[in-house]
């Protein structure tokens, strides 16, 4: 059986497990669907491997060889195939575009399950499987030149479509409920796509009905696990999700973080580029030192319009 056949078989079994609506079988569904998606990626690497290279791009172990004319080439050795990280690295280096976030999410969930524990809700599992449906559709069509219908068969493909449609309906309901909230457009565009429940990591967040539609006083209910969370907490988590990696790299290289602690609400959500706090909407009053006209950092906001040096001098003079 080919890699592609194995991929299709794993996904079909996973979808069948999911349809049984049994918690143990849902976990089996995650294992099988994850395996199927990774096999699709491996099939692409197999196809891209040069002829007579023993499927070099597919193998973990790659060694240089030299032919009778002294020409060096690389060949794959052994039976072990690439792991998840190697799949990502090789497809990226070959300019094969994949939305890796949902892939990493479902692989992480698979790894949790292998350690006999997952705290994810049934709704979050449905979300991950719905995301996987999109990966299967896009990757098989664009990179393997096979339609998902032909790959999986009509029954399995229709089930995947249904799962995706159910989740999208829930998401559309949440988006509709959030549409009338009043918040700065720049924050809506920045924060909303990255809002996640802090308990179950679901994006199915619906505002709790209130008289005031202002975003900064809004509470959200997660329709997946029923947890209520204030907007400020969701915004702080969204900022870290979107900019946390950039902040780590910038600080490691001696640069400045793209966000800071807000001088007003103390959340780590003050956006340097937008000059506004994503959590409370605070905007700085002071941008330059009143004495030397040097630019002021967010951390210097509490000094009343002076830079650190001149604030120190003023305190010393007093």
Are residues 49 and 158 both part of a single domain? yes
Are residues 193 and 274 both part of a single domain? yes
pLDDT of residue 117: 58
Residue 221 three-state SS: strand
pLDDT of residue 116: 59
Q: Which domain holds residue 291?
A: 284-318
- E strands, 132-281, are 205-207, 219-222, 228-230, 259-261, 268-271, 276-277
Are residues 205 and 133 both part of a single domain? no
Could you identify the residue written with the tokens 């219908």? 149
Are residues 301 and 318 both part of a single domain? yes
Interatomic CA distance for residues 274 and 262, integer angstroms: 13
Domain count along the chain: 3
- E strands, 72-129, are 72-81
pLDDT of residue 191: 94
Q: Torsions phi, psi of 189, nearest 5?
A: -65, -35
Are residues 269 and 297 both part of a single domain? no
Contact 14, 133 (CB under 8 A): no
Using alpha carbons only, what angle is made at residue 131 by residues 82 and 202, rounded to the nearest 5 degrees?
Answer: 115
**What is the pTM for the complete model shown?**
0.60
Could you identify the residue written with the tokens 């664009």? 142
pLDDT of residue 21: 67
Are residues 75 and 168 both part of a single domain? yes
Tokens of 184: 């700065």
Are residues 207 and 145 both part of a single domain? no
Contact 52, 76 (CB under 8 A): no
Model pLDDT for residues 184-205, shown as the tens digit of each residue: 988 999 999 999 999 878 888 9
Interatomic CA distance for residues 224 and 307, integer angstroms: 47
Are residues 60 and 33 both part of a single domain? yes
Query: Parallel, antiparallel, or unpaired: how do β-strands 276-277 and 205-207 relate?
Result: unpaired
List, in order, residues 6 or more apart from 225 with CB less than 8 Å away: 121, 123, 197, 199, 200, 202
Model pLDDT for residues 200-214, shown as the tens digit of each residue: 788 889 999 877 888
Are residues 117 and 221 both part of a single domain? no
Domain boundary among 132, 159, 174: 174
- Spacing of C-alpha 41 from chain mean position: 19
Are residues 185 and 123 both part of a single domain? no
Are residues 142 and 13 both part of a single domain? yes
Q: Mind listing the pLDDT tens digit of every residue in the chain (318 residues)? A: 689 999 999 999 988 888 776 767 777 888 898 999 999 999 999 999 988 888 889 998 888 888 777 788 788 888 889 999 999 999 999 999 998 888 888 888 888 777 655 566 666 676 777 777 788 888 998 999 998 888 988 888 888 777 777 677 778 888 999 988 999 988 999 999 999 999 878 888 999 987 788 899 999 998 877 889 999 999 999 999 999 888 888 888 888 889 999 999 999 999 998 999 999 999 998 888 988 988 888 888 788 888 887 887 777 766
Tokens of 179: 């549409």
Model pLDDT for residues 130-169, shown as the tens digit of each residue: 777 788 888 998 999 998 888 988 888 888 777 777 677 7
Contact 214, 183 (CB under 8 A): yes
The secondary structure of 282-312 as a DSSP string is: ---S--B-TTT-PBPPGGGGGGSS--HHHHH
Are residues 140 and 227 both part of a single domain? no
């Amino acid at each position: 059986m080919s890699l592609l056949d194995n991929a299709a078989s794993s996904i079909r079994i996973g979808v069948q497990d999911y349809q049984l609506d049994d918690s143990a079988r849902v976990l089996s569904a995650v294992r099988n669907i994850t395996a199927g998606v990774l096999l699709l990626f491996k099939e692409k690497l197999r196809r891209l491997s040069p002829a007579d290279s023993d499927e070099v791009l597919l193998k973990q172990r790659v060694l240089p060889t030299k032919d009778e004319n002294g020409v060096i080439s690389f060949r794959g050795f052994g039976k072990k195939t690439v792991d998840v990280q190697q799949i990502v690295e090789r497809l990226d280096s070959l300019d094969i575009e994949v939305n890796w976030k949902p892939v990493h999410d479902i692989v992480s969930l698979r790894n949790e399950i292998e350690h006999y524990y997952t705290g994810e809700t049934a709704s979050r599992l449905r979300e991950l499987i719905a995301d996987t449906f999109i990966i299967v559709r896009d990757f098989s069509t664009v990179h393997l030149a096979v339609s998902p219908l032909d790959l999986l068969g009509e029954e399995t493909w229709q089930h995947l479509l249904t799962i995706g449609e159910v989740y999208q309906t829930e998401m559309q309901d949440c988006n509709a409920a959030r549409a009338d909230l009043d918040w700065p457009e720049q924050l809506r565009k920045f924060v909303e796509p990255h809002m996640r429940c802090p308990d179950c990591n679901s994006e199915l967040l619906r505002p709790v009905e209130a008289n005031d539609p202002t975003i900064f006083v809004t509470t959200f209910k997660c329709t997946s696990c029923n947890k209520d969370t204030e907007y400020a907490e969701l915004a702080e988590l969204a900022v870290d999700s979107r900019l946390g990696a950039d902040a780590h790299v910038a600080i490691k290289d001696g640069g400045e973080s793209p966000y800071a602690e807000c001088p007003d609400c103390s959340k780590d959500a003050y956006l340097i580029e937008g000059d506004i706090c994503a959590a409370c909407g605070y905007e700085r009053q002071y941008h330059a030192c009143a004495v030397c006209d040097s630019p002021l950092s967010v951390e210097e906001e509490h000094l009343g319009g002076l830079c650190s040096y001149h604030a120190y001098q003023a305190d010393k003079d007093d």
